[in-house]
Amino acid sequence: MRIRGEIDVMRNAGRAILVFFESEEKLMAFYNSSDMSSIKETVQIITEKVSRKERELCIKRAATDGKVTLLTRIFGRGTDFICRNQQVLANGGIHVLQTFFSEELSEEYQIMGRGARQGDRGSYRMILLDSDLEWVLGADWEKEIPKITGSILYKSLNEARSERYESKCAARGVGIKQCRHDHKESIKFMKALSEGKMSIVISFLTEQNRGADIPVDTSRTLLLMDATGSMSNLLSAAKDTVCTMFERASAVLKEKKLPSDAFQMQFVVYRDYDCKADGVLQSSSWETNPTKLRSFMTNIHAHGGGDYEEAIEIGLWHAVQQSAEPEGISQVILIGDAPAKNSAAIDRDRAATGGESYWDKTKFRNPTHYTTEMRKLKKKNIPVHAFYLRDGAKVNFEQIAHETGGSCKALE
């Protein structure tokens, strides 16, 4: 209703309005909502799916009197909406409305600039859905928002965004270092290939395609991470540091005179039931090659988890399934910023996302609880080492770690 209200104000003032959305999915959800039913036929949409010719026409029409244009974020950069309508300029020019909080300030500035090109008049505003701020405020967003309302809201959000951006840049530095090493090795390979130095070529290809030798005493670690909206920063860091983690593990194994294949890892992410069966849990294969794990993480994105607690029980259930395989697992590392759900919340969320008629057709057909899976891991002497990012998860994570013989610490 707030967005529709803003649209009506601009239309009544004889101005043009550009409304930017985070994704095509959110744009279409708004476009097809009851809020837009009375003006739907007069609204134009610009997304990546619109043909180039149609897009150019829409961009020209966007700056006309009373025109409403809905756009995806990509058109907030480098797209010129030039207003030549003197009446629209006299009424205040183009108004830009952003419906999401950008991860980078540069994008925000770019979108802001769509409304006042070449010194023309224009205005800008944000209208945000509180639950969409989980990625920047964390799992405690519902508690944090009342503390920062009013004049300090934007300042607080921008400071939190800056902290996350700096942390992400630091993690990327590690990833760049690894990529630089890989690049140098690739150049050596190409040179050896052109010079016919087959021993170097064979050595490179063997290392790149190396699988596990499966030694008798293998340590298999399952890394279980929350991948809901509030965890975007950690997931980004995990993508960039996975190779470093393996390098350090290999160094320890070498010191103990053990083969590097003695350490295997599987990456698993869990979310919440609103992500349905294909998104509530995603897992990699068991790997000794960090590059393959990094490739898996590249396709993992933080989303979902509208309420506070997350589906940790699904992640622990997966760990139990893996422990039943012949190779078994040695330990579980749990990382998250919110506690597990209680039984009532699980029943509620499953009912709200298709009900048992939907879940019965998936591998998650049988509802479970974190304590059930925790006890199964305890029986098999598989410790869960839990690391929490927010104090709200501390008690629950301490319980899981204590019951399974693992450790629990805050992750800074």
Averaged pLDDT, 324-339: 93
What are the strands, taking DSSP E only, across 5-147? 16-21, 44-46, 68-72, 94-98, 122-126
Cβ count near 321 (within 10 Å): 14
Lowest mean pLDDT among 205-214, 272-281, 348-357: 205-214
Confidence of residue 218 (pLDDT cuts 50, 70, 90): confident
Question: Which is nearest to 234 in space by CA: 185, 267, 201, 272?
Answer: 267
Lowest mean pLDDT among 176-185, 296-305, 338-347: 176-185
What are the strands, taking DSSP E only, across 211-327? 219-226, 263-270, 281-283
pLDDT in the model for residue 411: 82
> Does the model's pTM come out above 0.75?
no
Question: Which is nearest to 181 in space by CA: 192, 189, 169, 191?
Answer: 189
Does the pLDDT at position 176 exceed 80? no
Averaged pLDDT, 202-218: 68
Confidence of residue 240 (pLDDT cuts 50, 70, 90): low
Does the pLDDT at position 214 exceed 60? no
Token digits of residue 61: 């029409």
Percent of the chain exceeding pLDDT 90 equals 58
pLDDT in the model for residue 174: 63
What is the C-alpha separation between 153 and 159, in angstroms, rounded? 10
Confidence of residue 227 (pLDDT cuts 50, 70, 90): very high
Does the pLDDT at position 90 exceed 70? yes
pLDDT in the model for residue 376: 97
- The DSSP output letter for 410 is E
Which position has the higher pLDDT, 119 or 48?
Answer: 48
Which position has the higher pLDDT, 307 or 340?
Answer: 340
Q: SS3 of 190, please?
A: helix
pLDDT in the model for residue 64: 92
Amino acid residing at 384: V
pLDDT in the model for residue 45: 96
Which position has the higher pLDDT, 286 or 260?
Answer: 286
pLDDT in the model for residue 219: 83
Q: What is the mean pLDDT of the chain?
A: 88
Percent of the chain exceeding pLDDT 70 equals 91
Question: Which is nearest to 59 in space by CA: 73, 72, 77, 45?
Answer: 45
pLDDT tens digits for range 144-161: 889 888 889 999 999 989
Which position has the higher pLDDT, 117 or 200?
Answer: 200
- The DSSP output letter for 330 is S
* Residue ranges of domains in the chain, CATH in brackets: 2-128 (3.40.50.300), 212-410 (3.40.50.410)
pLDDT in the model for residue 317: 98
pLDDT tens digits for range 285-323: 998 877 788 888 888 888 887 788 999 999 999 999 999
pLDDT in the model for residue 171: 64
Side-chain-side CA neighbours of 45 within 13 Å: the count stands at 19
